[in-house]
Amino acid sequence: MPHHRKHPKAIYEGRWIFFFLGISWLLALAFLPLLALPFGLLIIFSCYFFRDPERIPPTDPTLIVAPADGTITAIDEVNGVEGDLYLTQRMKRISIFLSVFDVHVNRSPIAGELIHSEPRGGLYLDARKPESSLLNESRLWIIQGEKITVGVKQITGAIARRIVPWAHVGDQLDRGERFGMIRFGSRTELYLPLETEILVQVGTKVEGGSTAVAVFNKQG
């Protein structure tokens, strides 16, 4: 199993939320006991949301894993990534919608070098809408492997308002290694070369870092 470098814990990204909820819970206990239960439930849900389980990629190195937990909402072909100068060729795209109940840590779909990471400002439309890919705030990551180069696009949603990068350009990422997260409901897109074979379909539930979504170099 590859060794994954330690990144900031996902729970750390929610520190201000926990601080606010904790203070509110204590004040409610002191002055408005009926509100203590709702605040306590919000603290429990926040712990659940910021969870960061360990994931084990499949042993077959030709398999490309999902970069995020969630549900596959679209599989199509696009002429590169809008506004990007690196991925300009026609590619396959897998879109994953993350509800507030999904793990929001993003992971590298292949082993390789992180050669590009660029944020882009935008709106905060519902991440389930296709136009959110073009209009919402996002960050594009490009990972160059031994045989293929892939792109991962983190897209904010109506509730998610912050993309948190943990990796830096020049880092060597293992397949399934954490590189960042999006806070609350959002969308993650995976861009793949046309020669890859897609293994999932619309409606498939996937787990980031462990579910195989495509395969390359199938003939070895």
First CA to last CA distance, the chain: 21
Q: Select from 181, 129, 179 the least CA-distant residue to 158.
A: 129
Catalytic residue among 24, 95, 186, 210: 186
**DSSP secondary structure letters along 101-158:** TS--EEE-SSSEEEEEEEEE--B---TTSTTHHHHB-EEEEEEE-SS-EEEEEEE--S
- Computed over its alpha carbons, how large is the radius of gyration of the chain? 18
The DSSP result for 149-180, as a single string, is EEEEEEE--SS---EEE---TT-EE-TT-EEE
* Residue 105: other Cβ atoms inside 10 A: 26
Residue 186 annotated in active site: yes
Please, is 204 exposed, middle or buried when counting C-beta atoms within 10 Å of its C-beta (0-12, 13-18, 19+)? middle
Single-letter code of the amino acid located at 113? E
Active site residues: 186
